[in-house]
Amino acid sequence: MRDFAELLDRLVFTPRRSIKLRLIGDYFARVPDPDRGWALAALTGGLTFPGAKPAMIRALIEERCDPVLFRWSYDYVGDLAETAALLWPERRGANREPGLAEVVETLQEAGRTEVPTLLAGWLDALDPTGRWALLKLITGGLRVGVSERLAKTALASFGGQDAGAIEELWHGLRPPYDDLFAWLEGRAPQPEVAEAALFRPLMLAHPLEEAEVDALPLGEFLAEWKWDGIRAQLVAHKGECRLFSRTGEDIGPAFPDLLQNIGFDAVLDGELLVAREGAPAPFNELQTRLGRKAPTAKLQRSHPAHLRLYDLLIDAGEDLRHLTFSERRARLEAWYARHRPALMDLSELVVVENHAELKRLRREARTSGVEGLMLKRAASPYLAGRPKGHWYKFKRDALTVDAVLMYAQRGHGRRSSLFSDYTFGAWTEEGTLVPIGKAYSGFTDSELKRLDKWVRDHTVDRFGPVRAVEPGLVLEVAFDAVQPSSRHKSGIALRFPRIARIRWDKPAGEADPLERLRAMIA
Amino acid sequence: MSREAHPENWLQVTPRGLYCRPGDFFIDPHRPVERAVVTHGHADHARPGNAAVIATPQTLAIMQARYGERAGAVLHPLAYHQRLSLGPVTVRLVPAGHVLGSAQVVIEWGGWRVVVSGDYKRQPDPTCAAFEVVPCDVFVTEATFALPVFRHPPADEEVRRLLHSVDLFPERTHLVGAYSLGKAQRLLALLRHAGWDRPVYLHGALEPLCQLYEEQGVDLGPLRSATRAEADLAGDIVVAPPSALADRWLRRFADPLTAMASGWMRVRQRARQRGAELPLVISDHADWDELTQTLREVGAPEVWVTHGSEEALIHWARGEGMRARALSLIGRGEEEQDALP
Ligand SMILES: [Zn+2]
Ligand SMILES: [Zn+2]
């Protein structure tokens, strides 16, 4: 645990990518299996411990600490895991300090009720940095400024391999990755994973701003609609069928209707939708399906799954990813004509003559029920990740609402000392505020400081890290759509809300009524 | 031991500082006075311009190095444990373990014993005499790190992390921010103890006090001037005052990696605000555990708390059945100003 804790501690304070790569590489070189493999899993976001929740950590520390001192300390530190790690009463030498593998493997076996006792025993044995790392590890989201991609790049340079080669294998391997490290250290051949129904990393698009459009040589691109569902990959191999989300999560069990009676061997890229007779339903209907791990037959009938195809990556064992997009498109169309699979159709190409027409199509996207347009360079191969200059997404404009700030909460990481997560509300007919959403601000530091001061000066109540404020500040909130929601008191939920700007000038009484948002439900 | 002679009637906060009436002297006054007892050389405790100064010989040497003629008109050295009568009051100085020459002031009058501890710590420090517990009736304590989240790890463990980093990034200069009095010299001594025997390079502002420590018999190993160094000092360690870490001065070094040695580094968010790439939790002040341990050991039924998070320590002391109150002294804690959040 000590090496892992020291690694996380260094990463938190290291701004530079090249230095982070060195620190991770040094760790892989120094630390034996299986600890380093579990560390890799943690850094790539591959570990979850459903039995460990922040509330449990809070309960553990509150049993051991004066409540007044806990509150003052939490106020000062601003992060629960760190506060608990620092406050934990020292009992070093009480137990043996646990290793990373021991912690992970024990927790994976443990029942929910055993977790608090296990955790307390380990916390007793660790030093403050070790305790902090342990709590970060089990509550998920290490927040040490390392992306999955960066961790894999560090791994690749540690083993003298190409990052693409690791990416290709990745979804066929399981932590703690002993076979992967053995190969990277030249002690064993490359792990054999090619024969399974594996996720292949997706190719992603860069956002395109209105102002950048005119510079784009449209003749070199093919356009498609950007459908309002989620990107998905369907893999069918030797009778095994799987459906993956954009990040490689297996979402197949939620969509048995789509995966039944598959009679082909292929890897397909498409948009997962709920659709009736080929007509896509609003996004929230898909959300209903995504929320059910095992959907009833009734739900499958009322909300039928649909895959709208964008691309063909592998056809009967033949890898097409090195072909150009035009060539793959031709193969996809031929493939579709041959198989005509149920609950699937082709995403049509959109003919765009010039830039003006492109902008018009985008403006009309909201009424056409699409999220915008995709522009794909005809000559591009299928490349994993978000390579520059190949694919662009040209999304419809956001909607906005003027909402009133209701609660503020401290942010995470760099901003943990500032109030940077905001809950905002709209006026009901009775003249009260109901919360309609929560967003993290994208402000500059100086704006954030001013807002933070406003929050401190207008606090009317506190609940742990949350402050309730007077209804006196209007936030312009941008969002993509309004959906009905039974979980929220307001009856609505905003999709992709973000705070566009602070309306210091606008009186709270003039913010928007809830009615206006209800009328915007898609 | 009469109630009228209770120290709150004769040891009081005045505009010029903490004043002992029957002995007619101030302790660490923040404005010039006739007679001052000074606990240690940090600028928020030892100020220039007093008529008479009573302090340990080391503290007087530090004041002379810093203030020259203005250190005081009459300097009265008082060695540790020696008794001095000031009127009816007896005063002696006892090691505080904070920096070279630092002392607690033990004041006895009317059957009462008050200990004004100045700044102190309990962790071992090879550059100064260790804190001694003096049982007393009233204990005046600092509270710089008086929140239970402040837990200073063993300093040699922090130095090991520094040396691991030097190993890992031999092409970079490791630049450590440390206060010029006490912290810098302790860091040097710790490096020597950890086996680092190469020259350590110093920012000019640190040179006079390091030299003074050496003259006082504290061995700091081979030291060089960083400013006059010919090379870019890749793979070397440079020690500088914290204010120099954000300065153009550091551009001369090889891809400098900044480390910061301070108790404030314990809380990551604070450390990040300082911009240090390698925070080292090394403090010359008592952490929470040392503060509470000390309050228990001196056994004083009454505790007065100064500079820092007074409220948390007072809350704790009252919970332990002690009488506790805040003693608001002006202008304290500024030696650590550089590291304040
Ligand atoms: Zn001091
Ligand atoms: Zn002080």
Domain endpoint, select from A139, A173, A193: A139
* Residue B99 DSSP symbol: S
Over residues A464-472, mean pLDDT: 85
The answer to whether B277 contacts A82, with C-beta atoms less than 8 Å apart, is no
Question: What is the rounded average pLDDT for all residues in chain A?
Answer: 89
Q: Answer whether A333 touches B (CB < 8 Å).
A: no
The answer to whether B269 contacts A417, with C-beta atoms less than 8 Å apart, is yes
Distance B284 CA to ligand 2 centre (A): 10
B337, pLDDT greater than 50 = no
Q: Answer whether A73 touches B (CB < 8 Å).
A: yes
The answer to whether B309 contacts A82, with C-beta atoms less than 8 Å apart, is no
Distance B42 CA to ligand 2 centre (A): 7
Q: Answer whether A463 touches B (CB < 8 Å).
A: no
How far apart are alpha carbons A411 and A141 in whole angstroms? 14
Handedness of CA A128, B168, A36, A193 (dihedral sign): positive
The shortest CB-CB distance from A78 to any of B269, B309, B316 is to B269
How many domains, chain A?
A: 4
Q: Answer whether A504 touches B (CB < 8 Å).
A: no
Q: Are residues A379 and A282 part of one domain?
A: no
Is residue A102 domain-resident? yes
Q: Please give the CATH architecture assigned to the domain spanning B7-149+284-339.
A: 4-Layer Sandwich (3.60)
Candidate ranges A92-96, A456-460, B105-109; pick with highest mean pLDDT: B105-109
Q: Which residues contact A396 (CB under 8 A, 6 or more apart)?
A: A362, A363, A365, A366, A370, A371, A372, A480
Q: Which residues contact B318 (CB under 8 A, 6 or more apart)?
A: B324
CA distances from A508 to A466, A474, A475, A516 (A): 21, 6, 9, 16
Ligand nearest to the CA of B145: 2
Position A467 confidence tier, pLDDT thresholds 50, 70, 90: confident
Distance B308 CA to ligand 2 centre (A): 9
The answer to whether B341 contacts A417, with C-beta atoms less than 8 Å apart, is yes
pLDDT confidence of residue B336? 42
Q: Are residues A84 and A57 part of one domain?
A: yes
Over residues B272-298, mean pLDDT: 94
The shortest CB-CB distance from B168 to any of A12, A22, A82 is to A22
Q: Are residues A380 and A410 part of one domain?
A: no
Q: Which residues of B touch A14 (CB under 8 A)?
A: 277
Residue A394 corresponds to which amino acid?
F
pTM of the model: 0.72
The answer to whether B149 contacts A77, with C-beta atoms less than 8 Å apart, is yes
Percent of chain A's residues with pLDDT above 90: 53
Q: Which residues contact A402 (CB under 8 A, 6 or more apart)?
A: A474, A475, A476, A477, A503, A506, A510, A511, A512
pLDDT confidence of residue A35? 97
Is residue A188 domain-resident? no
The answer to whether B269 contacts A65, with C-beta atoms less than 8 Å apart, is no
How far apart are alpha carbons B91 and A83 in whole angstroms? 42
Is residue A190 domain-resident? no
CATH number of the domain at A240, please: 3.30.470.30
Q: Answer whether A23 touches B (CB < 8 Å).
A: yes
B154, pLDDT greater than 90 = yes
B340, pLDDT greater than 50 = no
Q: Are residues A220 and A90 part of one domain?
A: no
How far apart are alpha carbons A384 and A403 in whole angstroms? 39
Is residue B84 helix, strand or coil?
strand
For the record, the structure tokens of B250 come out as 């550091």
Question: What is the rounded average pLDDT for all residues in chain B?
Answer: 93
SS in 3 state form for A114-145?
A: HHHHHHHHHHHHCCHHHHHHHHHHHHCCCCCC
Is residue A403 helix, strand or coil?
strand
How far apart are alpha carbons A237 and A262 in whole angstroms? 10
Q: Are residues A319 and A388 part of one domain?
A: no
Domain that holds residue A378: 205-227+347-397
Position A417 confidence tier, pLDDT thresholds 50, 70, 90: low
pLDDT confidence of residue B1? 62
- Each residue of A217-272: pLDDT tens digit? 999 999 999 998 999 999 998 888 999 998 888 899 999 999 998 889 999 999 99
Question: Mind giving me the DSSP string for A479-501?
Answer: ESEEEE-SSSTTSEEEES-EEEE
Q: Determine the distance from the C-alpha atom of residue A386 to the mean position of all C-alpha atoms in its chain, rounded to a whole number.
A: 15
Q: Are residues A279 and A376 part of one domain?
A: no
Residue A323 corresponds to which amino acid?
L
Position B205 confidence tier, pLDDT thresholds 50, 70, 90: very high
Report every protein residue that has its C-beta within 5 angstroms of ion ligand 2: B 44, 119
Q: For an interface test with A, which of B144, B158, B266, B269 has the most A Cβ atoms less than 10 Å from its Cβ?
A: B269
- Each residue of A325-366: pLDDT tens digit? 999 999 999 999 999 999 999 999 999 989 999 999 998 888
Q: Are residues A440 and A313 part of one domain?
A: no
Q: How far is B148 from chain A (nearest CA, A)?
A: 6
Over residues A194-206, mean pLDDT: 82
Residue A387 corresponds to which amino acid?
P
Position B341 confidence tier, pLDDT thresholds 50, 70, 90: very low
CATH code linked to domain B155-280:
3.40.50.10710
Domain endpoint, select from A310, A326, A346: A346
Q: Is B177 or A504 the better-scoring residue by pLDDT?
A: B177
* Residue tagged 């995709």 (tokens): A374
Q: Determine the distance from the C-alpha atom of residue A178 to the mean position of all C-alpha atoms in its chain, rounded to a whole number.
A: 27
Position B229 confidence tier, pLDDT thresholds 50, 70, 90: confident
The answer to whether A128 contacts B151, with C-beta atoms less than 8 Å apart, is yes
Over residues B144-166, mean pLDDT: 95
Position A196 confidence tier, pLDDT thresholds 50, 70, 90: low
Residue A444 burial by Cβ neighbours in a 10 Å radius (0-12, 13-18, 19+): exposed
Distance B284 CA to ligand 1 centre (A): 8
Q: Are strands A419-427 and A433-440 parallel, antiparallel or unpaired?
A: antiparallel
For the record, the structure tokens of A396 come out as 């419809």
CATH number of the domain at A24, please: 1.10.3260.10
Is residue A127 domain-resident? yes
Q: Which residues of A touch B289 (CB under 8 A)?
A: 90
Q: Find the helix packing angle between A54-63 and A67-77, rounded to 10°.
A: 130
CATH number of the domain at A516, please: 2.40.50.140
Position B102 confidence tier, pLDDT thresholds 50, 70, 90: very high
- Each residue of B40-83: pLDDT tens digit? 999 999 999 999 999 999 999 999 999 999 999 999 999 999 99
Over residues B129-147, mean pLDDT: 96
Over residues A9-19, mean pLDDT: 92
Position A78 confidence tier, pLDDT thresholds 50, 70, 90: confident
pLDDT confidence of residue A335? 97
Domain endpoint, select from A378, A397, A416: A397
Is residue A224 helix, strand or coil?
strand
Nearest chain A Cα to B279, which residue? A13
Active site residues of A: 226
- Name the E strands within A281-398: 305-315, 318-319, 344-346, 349-350, 372-377, 391-395
Domain chopping of chain B, boundaries = 7-149+284-339, 155-280
Q: Work out how many CB contacts closer than 8 A connect A with B.
A: 72
Ligand nearest to the CA of B128: 1
- Each residue of A355-403: pLDDT tens digit? 999 999 998 888 878 889 999 999 999 998 888 899 999 988 888 899 9
Is residue A451 domain-resident? yes
Position A160 confidence tier, pLDDT thresholds 50, 70, 90: very high
ipTM: 0.92
Task: Print burial letters for B154-169: b (CB count within 10 Å at least 16), e (below 16).
Answer: ebeebbebbeebbebb
Q: How far is A370 from chain B (nearest CA, A)?
A: 43
pLDDT confidence of residue B333? 52
For the record, the structure tokens of A499 come out as 């705070």
A439, pLDDT greater than 70 = yes
The answer to whether B276 contacts A13, with C-beta atoms less than 8 Å apart, is yes
